Amino acid sequence: MATKKTNTTKKNSLLIVESPTKVKAIKKFLGSGYEVAASNGHVRDLPRSTMGIDIEHDYEPKYITIRGKGDVLAELRRQVKKADKVYLATDPDREGEAISWHLCSALKLDEADAKVQRVTFNEITKNAVKEAMKHPRDIDMNLVDAQQARRVLDRMVGYEISPLLWSKIKRGLSAGRVQSVALRIIADREEEIDSFIPTEYWTLDANLIAEGEKKPLVAHYYGVGNEKKEISSKKELDEICKAIEGKKFVVSDVKKGERTKKAPLPFTTSTLQQEASKALNFSTQKTMRVAQQLYEGIELGKEGTVGLITYLRTDSTRVSDEAVAAATDYIVKNFGDKYLADGTGPKKNEGKIQDAHEAIRPTYIDHTPVMVKDYLSRDQFRLYQLIWRRFMASRMAAAKYETTSVKIDAGEHRFTVAASKTVFDGFLNVYTDDEDQIEKNVLMKNLDTSTKLTLGSFESAQHFTQPAPHYTEASLVHDLEALGIGRPSTYAPTISTIMARHYITKENKSLFITELGQAVNKMMMEAFPQIVDVNFTSNMEALLDGIAEGDVKWKTVIENFYPDLDKAVKAAEKELEKVQVQDEATDEICELCGRNLVIKYGPHGKFLACPGFPECKNTKPYFEKIGVSCPKCGKDIVLKRTKKGRIFYGCIDNPACDFMSWQRPVSKKCPKCGGVMYAKNNKLACGNPECGWVEDKEKAKEE
């Protein structure tokens, strides 16, 4: 990539950034020879009213000035005229590169002119900004083209498919290249949970008393000899207890060992979103908003505005040599040499890394959370503390545990005890998570094969296997990243979009698909299977990376994609002519005007409305009967929705009858215990897990 030679001390220089928040700090770093102005993000985009892509002429995008940006551009043009040099310092990623390119066009600048130069910095600090000004370069058209390709692909999918959703389900809906796949992933998990049939199992613990000890030793049942055995029923449990009855408990083996727990890597965008969700209960959107504030700069009293963290959109765990040196000095000074990492550093990033950024870290190690707390809001402080501690931990030594594994035999049956004790806390001194337990099951000091044990009591418990958990924002981000769907900049807006469209809802931390989301996902799966295919979307991300690296031409990706999309849309339009989801007529009469009410989709699912709108605005809740009688009172079971749109099944006579279920009940009673049966995909299962009756749905129909 060409580097432009320039005299950076020349007067009358203009530096353009994205955010007005950065202006004050950067102006202070550069001094009187520079003016600093902000573009307030994008200045040009595709029009909203049309697709904005000339299909007939090499898929050329038709960019227009974004509404409301006229005054900003007029002021920038005025400053450009006065400047001898123009530095484009938008964010250091594909989106930022594209904004710089659009600025050239909007400000009538020639990007090849020596007057126009691109600079990037990963943090808003004096050293980073000064260093960036020494290395200006040309606009990287590979990065611009990667952003253009993403924008055009997303526009094509949204513009072509969304009208079908409007005509068949509800106006205002949208489809998206990434959002539709994210919705499908959540829908698949919900189906997996609904289809799950629990399996019974039991645990057995022996409370053993060692000679001379007051506290009992709790040993867990393992199996027969070295063969592990699951206890699947009460009958099996009783047989094991009977076999052990009267047997001596003998310590057959005691093994000591050491286990280490490596320090975590510093944060990437994905891991920051996941950890902030788990530790701080932040949504992905909130995490990015607060991190942006920390990156752009906080007023720290006499120091002025200081950017507290490095750039927040990154796939990388790389850390600069200067930051490593600063962290090393801090750790040695405050904790001692033994707390220093062994020098291996973070492991190499796997897969495609979008840009050569650093990990997310504090810009100045000496700005400890305690030092800056008074200048931060509560949310800013909590997120900064998380980032600071995670980075410090990443440069510290591993934690070490002393482990003890004990085998105890009673006849042929074996019990085990596992214990661990921290011998060196290492990075845990500054950073722990839910999985980090300093000590568990501390054993008596002199336990060995000569220790005499007597049985105090047995403790047994019945359990049932659990389905996969509902997605949270954290686990969804984890899976999107693992599957190669989207990039750091897309996780938060993707989740926010499908939530804003009411395709999913959040209760506590869990995400659930709504009835509206199910309808949209069903249509996408049937009409556009390729768009919601995980592998297809992941491969498309790889192609976008190829464009950014200069290996793939962006127009080639578009011209290979669009014809298939257009063909699928035309086929779907023809197929869906016979499908009418919206405005299904009912037998219920509008009491205001006498028309037959119709079924419509609202933000949270179906409702009844008068087709005479706007003359008649009558609406009513829609209770969809499922053809099953309430097991408590015999009236109809209907499909209902929580206030946030999550589907459940309840009695139509509520609140007089309180029957409700997240699972869909069926009319057939359990042939084994007479209990309520529920549909589990292609199976029917008894709602009483202790009964455990399961049968094929097709077989039940034949009966």
Residue 692 has a pLDDT of: 84
Grade residue 587 by pLDDT with cuts at 50, 70 and 90: confident
> pLDDT higher for 139 or 700?
139
Instruction: Give yes or no for residue 366 having a pLDDT over 90.
Output: yes
Q: Is residue 181 part of a domain?
A: yes
CATH number of the CATH domain containing 275: 1.10.290.10
Known catalytic residues? Answer: 311
Q: Are residues 601 and 513 in the same domain?
A: no
Beta bridge partners of 219: 206
Q: Is residue 145 part of a domain?
A: no
Q: Strand 413-424 and strand 13-17: pairing?
A: unpaired
Contacts 24+ apart (CB under 8 A), 629-633: 629/667, 630/657, 630/659, 631/659, 631/665, 631/676, 632/657, 632/658, 632/659, 633/657, 633/659
Range 500-517 average pLDDT: 91
CATH number of the CATH domain containing 420: 2.70.20.10
Range 291-300 average pLDDT: 95
> pLDDT higher for 273 or 688?
273
Grade residue 5 by pLDDT with cuts at 50, 70 and 90: very low
**Percent of the chain with pLDDT strictly greater than 90:** 71
Q: Does pTM top 0.95 for this prediction? A: no
> pLDDT higher for 641 or 565?
565
Q: Are residues 25 and 63 in the same domain?
A: yes
Residue 347 has a pLDDT of: 45
Range 328-348 average pLDDT: 81
Residue 356 has a pLDDT of: 56
Instruction: Label residue 79 exposed, middle or buried (CB < 10 Å: 0-12, 13-18, 19+).
Output: middle
At 94, phi and psi to the nearest 5?
-60, -40
Grade residue 583 by pLDDT with cuts at 50, 70 and 90: low
Q: Tell me the residue type at 624.
A: E
Range 38-67 average pLDDT: 95
CATH number of the CATH domain containing 80: 3.40.50.140
Range 114-139 average pLDDT: 93
> pLDDT higher for 633 or 114?
633
Q: Are residues 377 and 460 in the same domain?
A: no
Grade residue 623 by pLDDT with cuts at 50, 70 and 90: confident
Q: Is residue 326 part of a domain?
A: yes
DSSP letter string over 323-356?
HHHHHHHHHHHHT-GGGB--S--SPPPPS--SSS
Cα–Cα distance measured from residue 60 to residue 292, given in angstroms and rounded to the nearest whole number: 33
Tokens of 53: 């892509």
Residue 169 has a pLDDT of: 78
Q: Are residues 231 and 311 in the same domain?
A: no
Q: Are residues 388 and 283 in the same domain?
A: yes
Q: Strand 13-17 and strand 34-38: pairing?
A: parallel
Owner of token pair 């290996």: 551
| Boundary residue ending a domain (109, 139, 169) | 139
Range 154-158 average pLDDT: 94
Residue 441 has a pLDDT of: 58
Q: How many CA atoms lie within 13 A of 126 on its CB side?
A: 7
pLDDT in tens, 415-467: 999 988 889 999 999 998 755 444 455 566 778 888 899 999 999 999 999 99
Q: Are residues 166 and 124 in the same domain?
A: no
At 358, phi and psi to the nearest 5?
-85, 175
Residue 505 has a pLDDT of: 93
Residue 435 has a pLDDT of: 55
Residue 676 has a pLDDT of: 93
Instruction: Give yes or no for residue 204 having a pLDDT over 80.
Output: yes
The parent domain of residue 129 ranges over: 13-139
Residue 182 has a pLDDT of: 96
Q: Are residues 601 and 682 in the same domain?
A: yes
Instruction: Give yes or no for residue 605 having a pLDDT over 60.
Output: yes
Instruction: Give yes or no for residue 500 having a pLDDT over 50.
Output: yes
Q: Are residues 23 and 129 in the same domain?
A: yes
Grade residue 355 by pLDDT with cuts at 50, 70 and 90: very low
At 207, phi and psi to the nearest 5?
-90, 110
Instruction: Give yes or no for residue 654 having a pLDDT over 90.
Output: no
- Among the listed ranges 303-307, 385-389, 598-602, 698-702, which one has the minimum average pLDDT value? 698-702
* Total domains, the chain: 5
Neighbours of 300 (CB within 10 A): 16
Question: What b/e string do you get for 474-503 counting C-beta neighbours within 10 Å, with b at 16 or more?
Answer: bbbbbbbbebbbbbbbbbbbbbbbbbebbb
Q: Is residue 149 part of a domain?
A: no
Cα–Cα distance measured from residue 266 to residue 357, given in angstroms and rounded to the nearest whole number: 13
Instruction: For the chain, give the mean pLDDT.
Output: 89
Q: Is residue 144 part of a domain?
A: no
| Boundary residue ending a domain (517, 551, 578) | 578
CA 319, chain centre distance (Å): 24
CATH number of the CATH domain containing 572: 1.10.460.10
Grade residue 614 by pLDDT with cuts at 50, 70 and 90: confident
> 114 and 104 in contact (C-beta within 8 Å)?
no
Grade residue 604 by pLDDT with cuts at 50, 70 and 90: low
Residue 11 has a pLDDT of: 59
Entry field: residues in the chain:
703
Q: Is residue 240 part of a domain?
A: yes
Q: Are residues 516 and 419 in the same domain?
A: no
| Boundary residue ending a domain (545, 578, 611) | 578
Instruction: Label residue 426 exposed, middle or buried (CB < 10 Å: 0-12, 13-18, 19+).
Output: buried
Instruction: Give yes or no for residue 608 having a pLDDT over 80.
Output: yes
**Percent of the chain with pLDDT strictly greater than 70:** 93
Instruction: Give yes or no for residue 8 having a pLDDT over 50.
Output: no
Q: Are residues 240 and 353 in the same domain?
A: no
Residue 348 has a pLDDT of: 43
Q: Are residues 35 and 134 in the same domain?
A: yes
Closest C-alpha among 66, 63, 70, 110 to residue 88: 110
pLDDT in tens, 373-402: 999 999 999 999 999 999 999 999 999 999
Residue 268 has a pLDDT of: 96
Instruction: Give yes or no for residue 134 having a pLDDT over 60.
Output: yes
Specify the DSSP element, H or E, that contains 476: helix 473-482
Residue 343 has a pLDDT of: 61
Q: Are residues 256 and 205 in the same domain?
A: yes
Neighbours of 616 (CB within 10 A): 15
Grade residue 7 by pLDDT with cuts at 50, 70 and 90: very low
- Among the listed ranges 39-53, 139-153, 429-443, which one has the minimum average pLDDT value? 429-443
Q: Is residue 614 part of a domain?
A: yes
Instruction: Label residue 167 exposed, middle or buried (CB < 10 Å: 0-12, 13-18, 19+).
Output: middle
Residue 487 has a pLDDT of: 86
Q: Is residue 290 part of a domain?
A: yes
Instruction: Give yes or no for residue 172 having a pLDDT over 90.
Output: no
